[in-house]
Structure 1
Amino acid sequence: MEFSHFVDLMEVVDIPVSGKQFTWFSNDGTAMSRLDRFLVSEGFIDKGRISGQWIGDCDV
């Protein structure tokens, strides 16, 4: 809730993702999270014609 409140106060947008839904997985596969986020202003989205971000496979 605090993070969402911060995003609203800063008037930025969390760019929608395509591809994979999560960027982090626990070793046993029981926990997943989206740690990597790009927060940008509406003006930056319009100027850069940004429509989203792609999360690919993590083969580390």
Structure 2
Amino acid sequence: MTILTPEEIIEHVKLITGDKYDSDLAKRLGVDKQSFPQYKNKKTIDIQQKIICLLISKLNEKNVNKT
């Protein structure tokens, strides 16, 4: 499993949800858009980040197998 950076995670989630901008995703998540730069600059890898990466990986595998 590849560990994605927080910025890569946000971009993958925007692709999955169809959101174009960070502000669109922030609204969907019910968070302030100013929290995104803090998340993107996060340097430590925690279990939540690993779980998200695993889920994105599995979604990508599922989509590849559909075609």
**What interval of TM-score do these two structures reach, taking the shorter chain for normalisation?**
under 0.3
Q: With structure 1 as the length reference, what TM-score do the two structures score?
A: 0.25
When Rg is computed on C-alpha atoms for both structures, the one with the higher figure is 1
Calculate the TM-score normalised by the size of structure 2.
0.24
> Larger % of helix: which?
2
